[in-house]
Amino acid sequence: MANGKLSAFSFRDFRLFWFGQLISLSGTWMQSVAQGWLVYSLTKSPLYLGMVAAAASFPILLFSLLGGVIADRYPKRNLLLLTQALSILPALSLGLLSSSGAVTVWHVALLAALLGTINALDIPVRQSFLAEMVGKSHIMNAIALNSAAFNGARIVGPVIAGMTIAYLGIPACFYLNALSFVAVLVALYRIEARGDVRSKPESILKDFTKGLRFVADSREIRNVFSLIALFSIMGLPYISLLPVFAAEVFQRGAKGLGFLVGSSGIGALIAALNIALRGDIRNKSRFMALTGLCFSGALIVFSLSGTFWLSLLSIMIVGWGMVSYLAIANSFIQITVPDALRGRVMSVYSFVFLGTVPIGNAIMGVVADHMGTPHAVTVSGVICLMAAMMYSRTHLLRQDAI
């Protein structure tokens, strides 16, 4: 099995990690949907949806690069035990506040920022820990399967959240998410790999600049990161505005929100499983060019569609395109980076992928508030399409694999 299409599953540590993540991430997606619906219920404003989403992502912009330095200095399993345990606190606090009826949008924003600060360390550690569980020769399969867990949870979590909100109320989603972290804590405790510390610690500034210098010296990595950053700023903020589409455009309520987020997750899951089963993508440049075009074009179709079922189909393609691009980009970076710099380079990946999202969320929240949410998403889709076309001009016809 070690040489098969699902080779990462041959490693006991990865299997434990994967199943724990699947349960925990389902709870995380439940909280994401419930949090968006709570903010919309409190404010009826796309501006506040964008601001709370920005609050969740802004700490990643500030602290993820520092998180990469820490990831290369300490055993990664121990760091993940810490971050996952701390992640229980925001979920439990939101549950208690919303149960008591005392919750305000500022409580939600503050707790979202706290979780974002924890994630600023968790994400680069988790990404770099994959290679240490399975080795470089199986890293692409591990990334694809990890993405499949993330996006499988992205289907299950929102659908359960929609039903839970409808029948048990919003607080139940937060309590269930807090409980879900127990699964990943148990899995991490049983994992034998600790995460080797291969870097020789110097000053934080020197450690910090080494990771940035590696990225700056690679033209291909710079090109990949540039398109990820553009998609994150202009494309991904559509997720924070889905409550508006569910409530105002389609008038489907919390259940409709669950189906919209879940449909995007189905497309993303198909993308992850496709890559995991293919084993490798020979011409990664061409594949990333095509998936970037699909993501952008489908986002425009989604924003212009007034039909719920057409929107479900188009948002599924949005999810497929984005995850396909990110999975191949991630695997290329992990294969290329030296082991001693892995945490720091993956923190740059976290920075450009998630850290730039608050900029886009803030912009999209303001634009949607002034010109309407569907029009704002149309504009963002057009900008993403133009960037994808520029990337495609130099990469679509290339025959060599990066």
Q: Which long-range contacts (CB under 8 A, 24 or more apart) does 218-222 make?
A: 218/336, 220/332, 220/402, 221/332, 221/333, 221/336
Contact 103, 38 (CB under 8 A): yes
| Residue 1 lies inside a defined structural domain of this protein | no
Judged by average pLDDT, the poorest of 150-154, 288-292, 321-325, 398-402 is: 398-402
Pick the range with the lowest mean pLDDT from 11-15, 23-27, 237-241, 356-360. 356-360
Q: Tell me if 316 sits within 8 A of 294, measured CB to CB.
A: no
Residue 131 lies in a domain: yes
pLDDT at 395 over 70: no
Of the CA atoms within 13 Å of residue 362, those in its CB half-sphere come to: 11
In this structure, what DSSP letter does residue 307 have?
Answer: -
> pLDDT by residue (tens digit) across 95-143?
999 999 889 999 999 999 999 899 888 988 888 888 788 877 788 788 8
Structure tokens at 338: 């030296």
Distance (Å, rounded) from C-alpha 345 to C-alpha 123?
Answer: 12
Q: Where are the alpha helices (DSSP H) in 247-283?
A: 253-278
Residues in the chain: 402
Torsion of CA 139, 143, 148, 149, to 10 degrees: 100
Q: How confident is the model at residue 86 (pLDDT cuts 50, 70, 90)?
A: very high
Q: For residue range 226-263, what is the model confidence (pLDDT) as tens digits?
A: 888 899 888 888 887 888 888 888 888 777 887 888 88
Q: Is 401 inside any structural domain?
A: no
Q: Which structural domain, as residue segments, surrounds residue 374? A: 9-395
Predicted model pTM: 0.74
Place of tokens 């127990």: 182
Select from 77, 254, 62, 283 the least CA-distant residue to 165: 254
Q: Are 242 and 36 in contact (CB under 8 A)?
A: yes
What CATH number should be reported for the domain holding residue 162? 1.20.1250.20
Q: How many domains does the chain have?
A: 1
Ordered alpha helix ranges (H), 7-75? 12-43, 46-71
Other Cβ atoms within 10 Å of 303 Cβ, number = 24
In a domain, 235, yes or no: yes
Whether residue 150 contacts residue 23, with contact meaning beta carbons closer than 8 Å, is answered with no
Query: Residue 198: pLDDT above 60?
Result: no
The whole-number average pLDDT for the span 352-357 is 78
Cβ atoms of residues 136 and 334 within 8 Å: yes
Residue 4 lies inside a defined structural domain of this protein: no
Residue 313 lies in a domain: yes
Say if 402 falls within a structural domain.
no
Mean pLDDT of the chain: 83
